[in-house]
Structure 1
Amino acid sequence: MRITIAHNTNQETLRVVAHLRKLLETKEGVVFDAKYPDVVITVGGDGTLINAFHRYENQISSIRFIGIHTGHLGFYTDWRGPEVDKMVDALFLREPESASYPLLEVELLTEANEKKHFLALNESAVKRISHTLEAKVYIDDQLFENFRGDGLCISTPTGSTGYNKSLGGAVIHPRLKALQMAEIASINNRIFRSLSSPIVLAPEQWITVIPDADHCVMTVDGRRINVRNAKQIEYRISSKEIHFDRFGHTHFWSRVQSAFIGDKDDTI
């Protein structure tokens, strides 16, 4: 089994990583391989796992991820630091099995007909910094709305609990291969008319945004990309998926309850 450990540099994280590495070194057949791993174990938080995802996105079909959190409970990290021994034992005591979640595929087409492709685990947004964004929004090949506002956010089901939720979007279970678009501070008048509500699309549908500006900013999982002379930006559910090791994988609604509502005793 080829394994690599991705981590942040927090003191608690480094302590957990040192212990984890010692445990793995005692297991027969373990090879530490940061180039072509079978399993990527992340130690830190959701940000650490997202960074690891983008590092290995070209190999995403052949990798299983395991997340260990050393801070607040995240949506992609199933284990806590004190549970490392239990996690390592479970990893070698049963056949590999994964839980797969959908990803977002982003295709940017420039005026020069140059295509650029991006993959997102959480979401991608398109904005302008000093002005409002004006754009035509198509669903499949049909014009849906003339948008004007701060921007648009298109998210995956797992990303629905992040930026999308702060914009009033719905939380969607990751087994639903749905695409969600939420408007960011839309402006409605006689010329620009938008739904002013998040929309959820079926897995075979796609969204095309045609910005009316020579310069806008696109983000992919928070990473900023300056875009000039964009002809269109297309968003759809990718044929690729991210695979998490299923053992110990926390129930999705338990994650939502823990992150946003808390224990029942906390509300009394």
Structure 2
Amino acid sequence: MLTGVLAGVGAGALWGLVFVAPRMVSGFSAVDLASGRFVAYGAVAVLVGVTARRPLPNASQALSAIGLSLLGFTGYYLLLVLAIRDAGTEVPTLIIGTIPIWVMLLGKPGHLRWGALVPGIVLTAAGLALMALSPRGAAGGAHGEHYVRGLLFAAASLASWTAFALLNSAWLKRHPEVRVTDWANWLGLATGAGAILLWLVAGSDASQLRAQPDLGLFAVLALATGAGSAWLATILWNVASRRLSASLCGQLIVSETLFALAYSFAWDGRWPTPAQAAAVVLFTLGILAAIHAHR
């Protein structure tokens, strides 16, 4: 269990980098940043697969990897981008922030009492509420003619990643013969291909990208987040998903928020507001409560 918890927290630490990386460059759209990261993920998967001579998936495994890559990577992120476009950042961010709660509720193992999950769920929900009410917690709200459509996109992105977390955990438990690194590579191959399609559909024109003064830094960040926040993070998440119940994994997703806040505060060179500090404490207590409930 300890190995699984540490792997889940490690994945959260790497995922948290994705929230601060876009702030290091300007002139690139969210789709450009996501596509660059996911194409790099695919490239790392190809490199590792070739150099280590790892096996390719069979037809059934390939279909599973394609489906789950859409749910957890390119499809999820495209829905989120569309949600932010139509409804601003504040409400979609809050909706996505409830993913740990939904995964905990839907992934509860049969032997665990519902009451055991209540402390972790209440603490996490309270932390989310404090972050939402914090003056610097979110910005960029929008209430235009497409606001309702944006909320629907946000709900769809929430459902997409929640389904990924549950189905990915179930798939790994059904296929113990597949190494977690191989599964991460297969997801990377599917995600890389999907990212190319995502960029072709919604990304910036190639000439616009070449004209950006921060193109070199963009490439470095894409490689760093592709290798770290996608490939390595997926391996760690696979370890956690195989060793832990889906409900405990759901609570560990909160670590992504904790590390994203820490990186953001460090980048801004400031301390959190009292409300944000209280939210961090609640998130941490929620994780500890969930670990205690699953022991």
Shorter-chain TM-score tier: under 0.3
More helix by share: 2
Larger radius of gyration between Structure 1 and Structure 2: 1
TM-score where L is the length of structure 2: 0.20
TM-score where L is the length of structure 1: 0.21
Larger relative contact order (C-alpha < 8 A, sep ≥ 6)? Answer: 2
More strand by share: 1
